[in-house]
Amino acid sequence: MVSRRSLARNALALVCGGFLSTGVGTAARSRSIPTAGRYDASAVADAATTAVAAVDSAVVESVGVPDPIDSVLTDVRARARSVSVDDIESIHGSVAIDGNAVAGGCAAAVGSFDTQAVESELRNHELEFTRPSARRSDGVAQFVAADGPYAVALEPSTLRVGYGRTRERAVSHLDAALADGSRGQTRAHTPTASYGSLPSLLDGDAVAYADLGSKTRSQLVDSAADRSESLAAVVETASAIGCSLQVGSTRSRIRYGLVTGPSRLSRASIDALVDEATTGDHALTEPTIHRSGRTVVVDAAVETPSLWAVHEQFAVDSPQPSTSID
């Protein structure tokens, strides 16, 4: 399986790496992937910024993925022999972000897994995953790393990986994700993140949105300013940002959402950013802009093969897992 440091990257970059790599969101395809009511990392409250994402694995087949996500998938295929990306139907999860570092979260892959093979690989992993003495009564096998802040829950149809600053925090994230995945079970902790109307406005084969803390927002603005003053100006006013995409064989539809104060963001700032994104080669087309309360929504179309090229000029660094272990 993957190495100690890349384990967190592999599980968590799939959830939030693509989301923040564009500075405004991740992508989606044609079948709506729900995010409402699922695990939210802010329920465990490791950091001021929280991101939530869900993606249909068919998106990868349709449009591919940008770097560094492509290298992550390549690493997974090469190292995780017991799990095939082809067997995964969808991925969803949430992460808490401290500045530009992932402080904790949980990613869940839904599909069909050989539990015996996965368990064998976990036991032989360099992080020395072991099963706690207490067993869950619902048939979920849980593992905790002896040499790292990771926890895993394994079922035939779902593989969850929790991460935190400590092993205890990783288990807390995993437990919260398991509770939200259990029908009829009341949430033990209430999420504190606020995404405004983004969860109801964004849908598709992949959806992502984030409640931005001041530290993360400031770092995103600084990174964006080197590439696009318009993007930096827009992100600076945002309390939450998100994106969804519905992929077609030749053309796809993208929706961007941004939650801001009623007087903080001018129409001129949005127009300037949209003008940049709709100018030149591999540009967005058919843009429309409207407000829904405190949320600014931009809808646009893009040639499917050009999906990632459209966003390259706006790319900023993705958050990386925190390496501290208390």
198-321 has which fold? Answer: Gyrase A; domain 2 (3.30.1360)
- Residue 156 C-alpha from the chain's centroid: 23
Exposure letters 267-283 (e unless 16+ CB within 10 A, then b)? eebbebbbebbeeeeeb
C-alpha to C-alpha distance for 148 and 13, rounded to whole angstroms: 18
CB-count exposure of residue 229 (10 Å: 0-12, 13-18, 19+): middle
Return the domain boundaries, the chain: 4-23+35-180, 198-321
Nearest Cα residue to 43 out of 176, 213, 152: 176
Residue of higher predicted confidence among 4 and 45:
45
Per-residue pLDDT tens over the stretch 224-277: 888 788 888 899 999 999 999 888 888 899 999 999 976 678 888 888 988 888
Provide the pLDDT confidence category of residue 162 given band limits of 50, 70 and 90.
very high
Nearest Cα residue to 57 out of 145, 143, 159, 209: 159
C-alpha to C-alpha distance for 323 and 28, rounded to whole angstroms: 30
Q: Are 109 and 158 in contact (CB under 8 A)?
A: yes
Mean pLDDT confidence for 208-226: 89
SS3 of residue 194 by DSSP: coil
- Please give the full DSSP string across 67-79, using - where no structure is assigned: TTHHHHHHHHHHH
Q: From the CB of residue 42, how many other CB atoms can be counted at a distance below 10 Å?
A: 25
Candidate from 12-21, 164-173, 200-209, 295-304 with smallest mean pLDDT: 12-21
What per-residue confidence (pLDDT) applies to 255? 94
Is the pTM for the entire model greater than 0.85?
no
